[in-house]
A and B are shown apart, each in its own frame.
Chain A
Amino acid sequence: MKNPSIRDILYEPPGPKARRRIGITTAAALLLIAGLIYLIIRQFAENGQLDARYWSFFGRATTWRFLGEGLLSTVEAALTGALIAFAVGFVLMRGRLNRFAVIRFVSAAIIEFTRGVPTLLFIYLFFLVVPQTGWELSSFWKITLPCAISACGVVAEALRSGVNAVPKGQREAALSLGFGEIRLFYQILFPQAIRFVIPSLIAELVIVLKDTTFASVVSYADLMQNAKVLISNYDAMLSVYLVVAVIYILINYLLNKLSEYLARRMNRGAEGRTS
């Protein structure tokens, strides 16, 4: 049987009256949205934004290859950044739960710092300050590292909240069987914690993905940067931004689907649980 969704839990199934009301409201909303879209398109048409010259280059394979290359760079930077953020975040989480107060304090300070500072500041740090020290980084790392740093604190806190959400009895049962702290963590606590926080981790991956759009600052040729090139080549801002926005939305939509899929798959432990 399918797990009941939040909607099923929060609301009763609608009766005939409610169904009619929902039908009418939905129809009205659809009409309103259609009207808005019509108005926007008419506005565009009046300003000449629908002219062929703004759209015809999307018929060329080179345009799509160019955008595709940018997309690939974006995905590379986002995935690498997310992996680094996960690794560093994991270490910070372990530090935050360490039995030595000094380590706890240092980890907490790093977590707060990385969470508090905007990503763009880290990018400027790697773009402007780091090269001064004579450490030359490629543009890939200049965008990936700042994105990773600004995400690692969030990841650490998400993981920690997951570990804390594991019921106390799990820990006690493991201890009473003779598990040491390390095995207890890796075999009992963490596998359960990660199931709880998959949605937060994917949400953070979406943020990393969006942060990589700052790549043009360090002239890394990501999707956004390539879009800007198209814009200046064809003098076509609106059409390009529209297409690129749709691409970002599609990726994030897929990530959300992935998140739901993973949550469902890993939740076999919670299956059949009613409360």
Chain B
Amino acid sequence: MTESNVPVIELRHVDKHFGTLHVLKDISLSVNRGEVVVIIGPSGSGKSTLCRTVNRLETIDSGEILIEGVPIPPEGKKLAAMRRQIGMVFQSFNLFAHMTILENVVAAPRSILKQNKKDARAEALRLLERVGVADQKDKVPAQLSGGQQQRAAIARALAMHPKAMLFDEPTSALDPEMIGEVLSVMTELAGEGMTMLIVTHEMNFARRVADRVIFMDGGAIVEENTPEEFFAHPQSQRAKDFLSSISEH
């Protein structure tokens, strides 16, 4: 079953409106196995919306979204089964507030994958160890720092053995001193060959880790290039303006 030539994530001519606002304009992109694609662009350009359409947290008006060549089912059990193959990490962590960190990581494998308690726990501990918050396992999310919460959230997503991971500005809600710890977990993941679609404002991270950078503005993909090329020689005026606006601080 070598389907490595099929993109893990593929969007074809995706359009979406919020009322009269055209948020996604004819978006086509693909993320291949093991690839790290970073989406950047000014606020309101539709990055989050794009990210969220990939596991159907947002519906689309037209076009197609395929996971390993299979269109996303519109609803029900099939949709849920598709979603669990795509991990998602949110800006606001969204750990389950009524569970401990360990319970957060164990919950989905236990109740959806029907893993037995011992295996699920062992795997969860391994993952928490890997992201460096194993010592926090019995605390509830509110007792952890933002950086710890976000790393636990990454562990929670990894526990489902996803084929790809979506990150929607995973460090934007963090104090500056915690951004590094989350980015280094992500860098490690990328190094291990995880397929990743990342929305971020961390340009240095994008430069280091991305295989490809996608620049969005006004709901459309304006530019798509290797990070070296994109940051050194942006083609469009909008990308140039954007890059100079963020390098100012």
Closest Cβ of chain B to A94, distance in Å, is 19
* Alpha-carbon distance between A176 and B85 when the two chains are bound, in angstroms: 9
B97 in contact with A176 (CB, 8 Å):
no
A271-B95 in contact given A178-B108, A183-B112 (Cβ < 8 Å):
no
* Number of B positions contacting A (CB below 8 A): 34
Residues of A within 8 A of B81 (CB): 178
* Alpha-carbon distance between A268 and B57 when the two chains are bound, in angstroms: 29
B84 within 8 A of partner (CB): yes
> Which residue of the partner chain A has the closest CB to B91?
A169
> Which residue of the partner chain B has the closest CB to A194?
B98
A175 in contact with B142 (CB, 8 Å):
no
A269-B90 in contact given A177-B157, A180-B80 (Cβ < 8 Å):
no
A178-B80 in contact given A183-B112, A270-B142 (Cβ < 8 Å):
yes
Residues of B within 8 A of A170 (CB): 94, 96-97
Closest Cβ of chain A to B26, distance in Å, is 25
A 155-195 binary contact with B (CB < 8 Å = 1; else 0): 00000000000010110111111111001000110011001
A188 in contact with B140 (CB, 8 Å):
no
Residues of A within 8 A of B99 (CB): 269
Residues of B within 8 A of A268 (CB): 140
Which of B80, B85, B94, B142 meets A173, CB within 8 Å?
Answer: B94
B160 in contact with A173 (CB, 8 Å):
no
A 106-146 binary contact with B (CB < 8 Å = 1; else 0): 00000000000000000000000000000000000000000
B238 within 8 A of partner (CB): no
B143 in contact with A176 (CB, 8 Å):
no
Residues of B within 8 A of A174 (CB): 96, 108
CB proximity to B under 8 Å, residues A242-275: 268-273
CB proximity to A under 8 Å, residues B145-202: 153, 156-157, 160, 166
B83 within 8 A of partner (CB): yes
A180 in contact with B77 (CB, 8 Å):
yes
Sample (6) of A-B pairs whose CB atoms are under 8 Å apart: A169-B90, A173-B96, A174-B96, A177-B160, A187-B111, A269-B142
Q: Which residues of B contact A (CB under 8 A)?
A: 55, 57, 76-77, 80-81, 83-88, 90, 92-99, 107-108, 111-112, 140-143, 153, 156-157, 160, 166
Q: Which 7 interchain pairs have the tightest Cβ spacing?
A: A178-B84, A169-B94, A173-B94, A176-B88, A177-B108, A273-B142, A269-B98
- Known A176-B83, A177-B157; further 5 A-B contacts with Cβ < 8 A: A169-B93, A173-B96, A175-B80, A177-B112, A269-B98
